Chain A
């Protein structure tokens, strides 16, 4: 148990959060052009920020100063970008070759509706219909190069180089939510909420980063510029927790829905700082907040860049589990989302210099 657990009233999830997540999910920001999400971030937090800057790569960095004499400088990073597509060339009026941006399985592309360009022109990722394919054809995997984005008609406003996005309407499903780009609009939404209710004892450097999905590019320059005492990366991680067909116990799932935020020990790019891992777990236990340990496995977050910046930064990642990540629609539990806000809030509120006093 923690020694100094304060009486806190933990934040709870409200309709405002759900409406904001819906708006963020509908915003279209494929890696490299994060303006739509950044506009929402700016509207939500610039009025209450001590400083708000957009850097050369497009990262939005807001600072909320501490109100205590002793304080810790905490960087919390959430990437704004989502996976998607870029138009490559127009083969025929309204029919475009495209390239995926970020990790997308080509098997999941065919038949999906998309929005194209800044005007969100409707389109569809077309593939040969069943009528015209042979049983042999249907055994083969469709390649990205065999697919086209079809916007139905010639449109002078749609040009190669523009992005396309999955056209998924956000929905509530009882205890869950469903939408596109929940990786990582959850992180963005949570960081906005925390920024508005930041405990007084920390200087919060809220970094809404760019280009995570194409190689954690934005976070590295933010960390270089701000040099925080410690960093927490908030993201969404895949949950492969569906029942196995043979009734056996699943042992590869990364994370599970409904068991709380997933705390990272080890992924493809980072061995999280054990001092912060233990602190988060102690905090969760002290306040009765559910959490899970994310299965150590490949993958990576902004932490991969942040923790290796300059002389090194103690870093951890924490994610809301989501099923069907990097597809047109993910499903996640509201309870995990709420628990992640609560755990971050409680961890910040109890944070002091003793956490990093002993070497890793």
Chain B
């Protein structure tokens, strides 16, 4: 599991450019699924199992894409100005390293470096070591992601892109572990979540599920200085009551709580003031889909060093497997 997570988090996959993550996932799961297809936007839509009389068609979505940057201009000296792909905070950019699809690396700096002020996003540029526009290897429209090495910290793991390769990992492990389910489970590895839940919208339309579950990270707020401390490390997976895109369907959440209790797993009820996940898009598909989210508390979300707790991840897998293995009432 550790090796797979390292591979998943290391893969290059900014929103709109997820093919390398998809190739890696497909290679990992191709013997464990009954069928798959890739849609127009690049979503990997798989099927595991068939729907029995007491079963449902369930879409389980984990997004493959990660936040990143995109080049807007290369100046005469070879500096590459950038804009955001997804929720990039200017605060988290300064002095970080980024890597482009071709392996070109660079560091982020900003024009406006007044002490005590955070430069606006459009003031940032990447220095790739080029000495001129002509010799610069990157051009307008090229996407980049943060560099953030995978670190095994014992009980915890740190890397870029735990958001949402941890969801991909949970989906992969669950689909491998899942036996004798009454359900048709559509594991979807979705695209473009970070720019507005776009992949989930089109994939949910084609899957037409009866239940939607997103797997994602959520904000772990147990670090110093925070006042609202509802989610913490080591307290189990989070079940979504509410975020900016969704109110978790109450009867579905009850079914998730029951599954956690059956499996003897602790869980946290997640209330998030803003943000959203694939479940928000799934829930509004066609005539509406009961939906919720199993999330993993993650520290330092949308930085190059996102951190998760190993037991939370393992228990999220157990919870999902238990939920998908039994009839849902």
B100 part of interface (Cβ distance < 8 Å): no
- Size of interface on B: residues with Cβ below 8 Å to A: 33
Known contacts A265-B70, A359-B38, A360-B40: A296-B140 contact under CB 8 Å? yes
In chain A, residues 281-316, which have Cβ atoms closer than 8 Å to a Cβ of chain B? Answer: 293-297, 307-314
User: When chains A and B are docked, how far (Å) is the Cα of A277 from the Cα of B141?
Assistant: 10
Let me know if A251 is at the binding interface, CB within 8 A. yes
Q: Is A10 an interface residue (CB 8 A)?
A: no
Within 8 A of A (CB), among B6-48: 15-17, 19, 22, 38-43
The one of A293, A296, A311, A360 that contacts B205, using a Cβ cutoff of 8 Å: A311
Q: Is the CB of A293 within 8 A of B198?
A: no
Closest to B81 in A: A251
A residues 248-262 touching B (CB-CB < 8 Å): 249, 251-253
B39 and A296 within 8 A (CB): no
Q: How far is the CA of A360 from the CA of B42 in the complex (A)?
A: 5
Question: Which residues of A pack against B, CB within 8 Å?
Answer: 249, 251-253, 265-266, 269, 271, 273-274, 277, 293-297, 307-314, 356, 359-360
A296 CA / B88 CA spacing, docked (Å): 15
A312 in contact with B141 given A249-B76, A252-B72, A271-B16 (CB within 8 Å): no
Which of A296, A356, A359 is B83 in contact with, Cβ under 8 Å? Answer: A296
| Residues 62-84 (chain B) with a chain A CB within 8 angstroms | 70-73, 75-76, 81, 83
For A252, the chain B residues whose CB sits under 8 A away are 72-73, 81, 122
Provide the bound-state CA to CA distance between A294 and B139, in Å: 11
Max count, chain B CB within 10 A of own CB: residue among A269, A297, A311? A311
29 contacts between A and B (CB under 8 A): A249-B75, A249-B76, A251-B75, A251-B81, A252-B73, A253-B73, A265-B70, A265-B141, A266-B70, A271-B192, A274-B16, A293-B140, A294-B140, A295-B72, A295-B73, A295-B83, A296-B71, A296-B141, A307-B41, A308-B202, A309-B202, A310-B202, A310-B206, A311-B40, A311-B202, A311-B203, A311-B205, A314-B40, A359-B19
Residue numbers of B with Cβ under 8 A of A are 15-17, 19, 22, 38-43, 70-73, 75-76, 81, 83, 85, 122, 139-141, 192, 195-196, 198, 201-203, 205-206
Closest CB in chain A relative to B258 CB, distance in Å: 34
Chain B residue numbers with a CB within 8 Å of A293 are 139-141
Which residues of chain A come closer than 8 Å to B70, judged between CB atoms?
A: 265-266, 296
Residues of A contacting B85 in the complex (Cβ-Cβ under 8 angstroms): 266, 271
